[in-house]
């Protein structure tokens, strides 16, 4: 009931705001958007009782966004960033499985943001949910609900923020199982000096600490943690596009706050105590190179010590050394003095286990994308990617060796007359993936061929743009062969004096696994974007997916239909006359 | 009669002072790499103590970790080690938290450095020896029990394909997207289970925010293999008004034989590989030149 009231009120506000905007004074300008959208999902499986396919979206979801920027004069602005959803849908992370959240959990749930950033000249106050990236090695991936500031007097930079990145969530066996979480408080601080395009020097400090008593029962697979990190960022930009960037960081991280305090352990008082599970390590990030209009070259390297860990980047994989050489250049001028050829390439290596606490693993990385516009009608794109991974395998007789090679060739030809343009695009990709069996030493090759042909006619005097394509996909690996053929067509058109924009797509795929009978898949979708007024749009997206198995699974001929409908209103604030 | 009493008392005193303790050590052959984690898991180490004559005196446990050539690299400081009171009526059972309290252990050389930096010992074969000793003079009360174990940190898979920020052709992606990743290291039996998850990043979300808050479009578990061909059965019509490509984030969660995260002390504790993003662009390769 409360939810319905909120939605109704929001819609009322959204529709009436258009009228109120007429009274906005000259001293106030408003930009940004606000809106509400509903997403519904349906899944019907046959035969009845078969559960071989599971839902992949929430049955119902309502999302709100309110992101206007109120600008009172040239010095003072007030941006809002409210994005929130009615139903929690966390699957990964500490909130996974949570269905009924209290207010604190709702506010700090990563799916919701409530941010307000009033700014006066060089001073910005940060209130509510903020995703702040101080640097690559200190903090940047997590949202924190709290309070802070960002001051930029002249070339000086002073930033501080403190708050809560997650509330305590009790473990629940379920079903559904709730992973649970410890309440985590964070703070971060930066002081530095920056002249845009010339230099940037900054010291970052960030800390996060869990409250062990904040969950009861405690999460089974998580430990209360505490992390502290300090880093120094130095970026220098020279003339003619040359640059040097670096960051050096040291972290002190307690992996389990319930372990005993130890005077011999790493500590950095008064910021962090030493427990028997406290580790300390460092990380370095560096890049040097040159950027220009037609030529880029750069070398970058990143070292993350095995014990380097921060609460600001919870998914960081440490214990590695990466180094890559990147380049991009344009070549082969045409008559109009622009370039016909563009090449982007990189080559590098990643070494895991620099610390020797694990088995050494090496990964080779190579990418090339080579585009050539031979003339007005014909272009060719070639791309090649290589990823290789090699490691010892512990007690197994053979080491791990996986190599992935992908080659793609994409010629495009187009021609036109007075009424229309024709475009034919072909694409062929060959992918081979070799994997060594660590027990027998035999290498298995996994080959994939993909061929795509697309035709796009464009009418110069009509508002209709169709496209047609056919695709063949084949994956061949010992004991399994997958083949798929897809035909699809899309249509885009405008109507009602360009107030209505329609986009539709129809796709049929016939697939086959080994000698089993064919499976069939039909997807139909459409977007309808309707401009109700200059500022108010109504966007609707509908899609349905029908899939019928062959006899590759039991029960034979099992099938399902899933539908997704998304509709919403977006109001664009714009007080400019 | 007095002589008999005297003999009995002498015998009792002898038994108490020099009572032999029989101990049995059970140690996991591949315990957690994080030494502080040993104390949280009772299945890692069990020391069963019982008296030879049904009587167990008070004792301490002398603990040493050595390399396979016998060089001692770490030991428990016996002066500060806890005193245990044996259960004369039956077995006394001790775990890693009792006999290997990290706060009382001393390591040497590169092993000390490695522990301070990583909480782990270098990957190698090691020998753990435990022996009950008298609390006052550390005189052995029983035989030394030794077990070998192999220690190597679990390296989570590295995501290989689609590579970070790769732009996939939407026409191809609507039929199939191939995911590849490196195997967990060490790659041993029982085979690890890889849980592949793909999340849609909404226009208002940051990548990690989407991962931590959305329901995954793909949530599939595969055992042992490091490739999955996904038939998305989705329409990749851009959800943005500005027709920018749709954005996704994917990751692998590696699970052990019981369905639990294979490592719970590294990273987020969920054994999730560092996620990467990819784009799906329906107009890739078919941009019309007007």
Which of A5-19, A187-201, A427-441 is predicted least confidently? A5-19
* Per-residue confidence (pLDDT) for residue B56, from 0 to 100: 77
Asked if pLDDT for residue A4 goes beyond 80, the answer is no
Asked if pLDDT for residue A388 goes beyond 80, the answer is yes
What average pLDDT does the segment A505-522 reach? Answer: 96
Q: Which residues of A touch B76 (CB under 8 A)?
A: none
CB pairs under 8 A between A and B: 325
What average pLDDT does the segment A214-230 reach? Answer: 92
pLDDT tens for residues A105-148? Answer: 999 999 999 999 999 999 999 999 999 999 999 999 999 999 99
Is B272 within 8 Å of A92 when comparing Cβ atoms? yes
* Per-residue confidence (pLDDT) for residue B287, from 0 to 100: 57
User: Do the beta carbons of residue A427 and residue A382 sit within 8 Å?
Assistant: no
**Which one of A184, A357, A394, A439 would you mutate to disrupt binding with B, by most B Cβ within 10 Å of its Cβ?**
A357
Portion of chain A with pLDDT greater than 90, in percent:
74
User: Do the beta carbons of residue A168 and residue A214 sit within 8 Å?
Assistant: yes
Is B155 within 8 Å of A475 when comparing Cβ atoms? no
Is A319 within 8 Å of B182 when comparing Cβ atoms? no
Is B36 within 8 Å of A350 when comparing Cβ atoms? no
Q: Which residues of B touch A537 (CB under 8 A)?
A: 241
Q: How far is A532 from chain B (nearest CA, A)?
A: 15
Whether chain A has a CB inside 8 Å of the CB on B92: the answer is no
* Per-residue confidence (pLDDT) for residue B224, from 0 to 100: 86
**Which one of B41, B203, B213, B241 would you mutate to disrupt binding with A, by most A Cβ within 10 Å of its Cβ?**
B213
At B289, the pLDDT band (50, 70, 90 cuts) reads very low
A261 or A15, which is more confident?
A: A261
Asked if pLDDT for residue A277 goes beyond 50, the answer is yes
Whether chain B has a CB inside 8 Å of the CB on A306: the answer is yes
B33 or B77, which is more confident?
A: B77
Q: Which residues of B touch A545 (CB under 8 A)?
A: 233-234
Query: Hey, which residues does A426 pair with through a beta bridge?
Result: A453
Portion of chain B with pLDDT greater than 70, in percent:
89
* Per-residue confidence (pLDDT) for residue A151, from 0 to 100: 98
At B15, the pLDDT band (50, 70, 90 cuts) reads very low
**Which one of A315, A436, A509 would you mutate to disrupt binding with B, by most B Cβ within 10 Å of its Cβ?**
A315
Closest residue in B to A520 (Cα–Cα): B233
Q: How far is A28 from chain B (nearest CA, A)?
A: 25
Considering only residues 22 to 61 of chain A, which have any Cβ-Cβ distance to chain B shorter than 8 Å? 54, 56-58
pLDDT tens for residues B111-142? Answer: 998 888 888 888 888 999 999 999 999 999 88
Is B158 within 8 Å of A363 when comparing Cβ atoms? yes
* Per-residue confidence (pLDDT) for residue B152, from 0 to 100: 78
Q: Per-residue DSSP letters for A116-163?
A: E--EETTEEEEEEEEE----SSSB-S-EEEEEEEEE--TTEEEEEEEE
Q: Choose the closest CB to B171 out of A276, A414, A454.
A: A454
Closest to A472 (Cα-Cα) out of A454, A459, A490? A454
CA A228 to chain centre: 26
Whether chain A has a CB inside 8 Å of the CB on B29: the answer is no
Q: Report in angstroms the alpha-carbon separations of B52 from B14, B15, B57, B95, B141.
A: 13, 10, 11, 21, 10
Whether chain B has a CB inside 8 Å of the CB on A490: the answer is yes
Q: What is the pTM of this model?
A: 0.89
ipTM over 0.85: yes
Is A387 within 8 Å of B163 when comparing Cβ atoms? yes
Helix, coil or strand: residue A360: coil
Q: Per-residue DSSP letters for chain B?
A: -HHHHHHHHHHHHHHHHH--EEEEEEE-SS--SBHHHHTT-TTTEEEEEEETTS----BEEEEEEEETTS-EEEEE-TTTSPPB---TTS-EEEEHHHH--GGGEEE-HHHHHHHHHHSBPPSEEEEEEEEEE-TTT--B-S--EEEEEEE-PPBPP-EEESPTTEEEEHHHHTT-EEEEEPPPBS--SSPPEEEEEEEEE-TT--HHHHHHHSPPSEEEEEES--EEEE--------SSTT-PPEEEEEEEEEE-TTSSBS-SSSTTSS-BPPPEEEEEETTTT-----
Query: Hey, which residues does A65 pair with through a beta bridge?
Result: A35, A83
Q: Which residues of A touch B260 (CB under 8 A)?
A: 221
Q: Choose the closest CB to B117 out of A57, A141, A307.
A: A307
User: Do the beta carbons of residue A551 and residue A517 sit within 8 Å?
Assistant: yes
Q: What is the mean pLDDT of chain A?
A: 91
Is A316 within 8 Å of B267 when comparing Cβ atoms? yes
* Per-residue confidence (pLDDT) for residue B235, from 0 to 100: 86
């Amino acid at each position: 009931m409360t939810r319905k009231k909120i939605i109704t009120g929001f819609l009322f506000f959204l529709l009436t705001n258009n009228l109120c905007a007429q009274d906005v004074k000259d001293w106030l300008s408003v930009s940004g958007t606000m809106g509400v959208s509903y997403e519904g999902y349906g899944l019907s499986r046959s035969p009845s009782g078969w559960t071989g396919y599971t839902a992949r979206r929430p049955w119902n979801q309502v999302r709100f966004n309110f992101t206007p920027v109120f600008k009172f004069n040239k010095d003072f602005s007030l941006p809002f960033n409210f994005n929130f959803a009615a139903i929690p849908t966390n699957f990964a992370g500490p909130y996974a499985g949570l269905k009924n959240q209290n207010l604190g959990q709702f506010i700090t749930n990563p799916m919701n943001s409530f941010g307000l950033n009033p700014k006066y000249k060089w001073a910005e106050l940060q209130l509510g949910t903020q995703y702040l990236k101080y640097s690559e090695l200190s903090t940047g991936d997590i949202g924190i609900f709290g309070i802070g500031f960002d001051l930029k007097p002249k070339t000086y930079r002073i930033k501080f923020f403190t708050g809560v990145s997650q509330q305590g969530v009790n473990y629940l066996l379920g079903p559904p199982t709730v992973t649970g979480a410890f309440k985590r408080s964070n703070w971060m601080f930066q002081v530095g000096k920056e002249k845009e395009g010339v230099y940037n020097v900054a010291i970052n400090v960030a800390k996060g600490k869990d409250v062990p008593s904040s969950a009861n029962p405690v999460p089974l697979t998580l430990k209360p943690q505490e992390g502290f990190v300090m880093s120094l960022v130095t970026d220098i930009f020279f003339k003619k596009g040359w640059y040097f960037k670096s960051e050096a960081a040291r972290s002190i991280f307690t992996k389990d706050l319930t372990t005993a305090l130890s005077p011999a352990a790493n500590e950095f008082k008064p910021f962090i105590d030493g427990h028997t599970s406290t580790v300390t390590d460092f990380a370095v990030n560096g890049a040097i190179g040159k950027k220009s209009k037609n030529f880029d070259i750069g070398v970058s390297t990143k070292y993350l010590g095995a014990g380097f860990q921060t609460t600001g980047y919870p998914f960081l994989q440490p214990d590695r050394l990466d180094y890559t050489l990147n380049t991009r250049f344009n070549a082969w001028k045409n008559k109009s003095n622009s370039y016909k050829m563009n090449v982007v390439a990189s080559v590098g290596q990643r070494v895991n286990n620099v610390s020797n606490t694990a088995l050494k693993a090496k990964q080779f990385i190579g990418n090339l994308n080579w585009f050539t516009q031979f003339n007005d009608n014909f272009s060719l794109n070639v791309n090649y990617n290589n990823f290789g991974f090699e490691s010892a395998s512990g007690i197994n007789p053979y080491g791990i060796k996986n190599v992935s090679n992908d080659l793609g060739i994409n010629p495009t030809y187009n021609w036109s007359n007075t009424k229309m343009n024709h475009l034919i695009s072909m694409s062929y990709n060959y992918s081979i993936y070799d994997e060594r069996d660590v027990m027998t030493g035999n290498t298995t090759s996994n080959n994939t061929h993909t061929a795509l042909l697309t035709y796009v006619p464009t009418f110069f005097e009509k508002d209709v743009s169709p496209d047609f394509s056919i695709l063949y996909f084949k994956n061949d690996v010992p004991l399994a062969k997958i083949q798929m053929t897809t035909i699809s067509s899309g249509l885009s058109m405008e109507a009602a004096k360009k107030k209505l924009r329609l986009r539709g797509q129809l796709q049929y795929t016939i697939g086959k696994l080994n000698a089993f009978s064919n499976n069939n898949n039909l997807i139909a979708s459409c977007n309808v974007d309707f401009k109700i007024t200059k500022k108010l749009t109504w966007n609707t997206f509908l899609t349905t997916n029908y899939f019928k198995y062959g006899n590759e699974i039991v029960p034979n001929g099992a099938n399902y239909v899933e539908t997704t409908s998304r509709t919403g209103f977006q109001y664009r604030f714009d007080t400019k006359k | 009669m007095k002589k008999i009493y005297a003999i009995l008392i002498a015998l009792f005193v002898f038994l108490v002072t020099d009572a032999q303790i029989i101990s049995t050590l059970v140690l996991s052959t591949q315990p957690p790499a994080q030494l502080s984690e040993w104390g949280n898991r009772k299945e890692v180490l069990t020391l069963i103590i019982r008296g030879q004559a049904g009587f167990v005196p008070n004792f301490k446990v002398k603990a040493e970790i050595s390399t396979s050539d016998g060089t001692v690299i770490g030991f428990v400081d016996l002066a500060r080690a806890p005193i245990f009171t044996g259960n004369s009526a039956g077995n006394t059972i001790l775990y890693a938290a009792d006999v290997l309290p990290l706060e009382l252990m001393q390591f040497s050389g590169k092993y000390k450095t490695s522990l301070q930096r990583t909480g782990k010992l270098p990957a190698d074969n090691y020998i753990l020896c435990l022996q009950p000793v008298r609390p006052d003079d550390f005189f052995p009360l029983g035989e030394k029990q030794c077990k070998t174990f192999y220690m190597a940190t679990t390296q989570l898979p590295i995501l290989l394909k689609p590579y970070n920020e790769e732009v996939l052709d939407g026409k191809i992606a609507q039929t199939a997207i191939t995911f590849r990743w490196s195997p967990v290291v060490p790659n041993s039996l029982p085979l690890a289970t890889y849980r592949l998850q793909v999340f849609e990043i909404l226009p208002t979300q940051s990548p990690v925010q989407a991962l931590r808050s959305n329901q995954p479009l793909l949530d599939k578990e595969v055992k042992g293999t490091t490739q999955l061909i996904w038939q998305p059965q989705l329409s990749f019509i851009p959800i943005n008004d500005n027709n920018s490509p749709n954005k996704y984030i994917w990751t692998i969660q590696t699970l052990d034989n019981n369905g639990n995260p294979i490592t719970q002390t590294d990273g987020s504790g969920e054994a999730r590989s560092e996620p990467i993003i990819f784009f799906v662009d329906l107009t890739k390769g078919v941009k019309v030149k007007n």
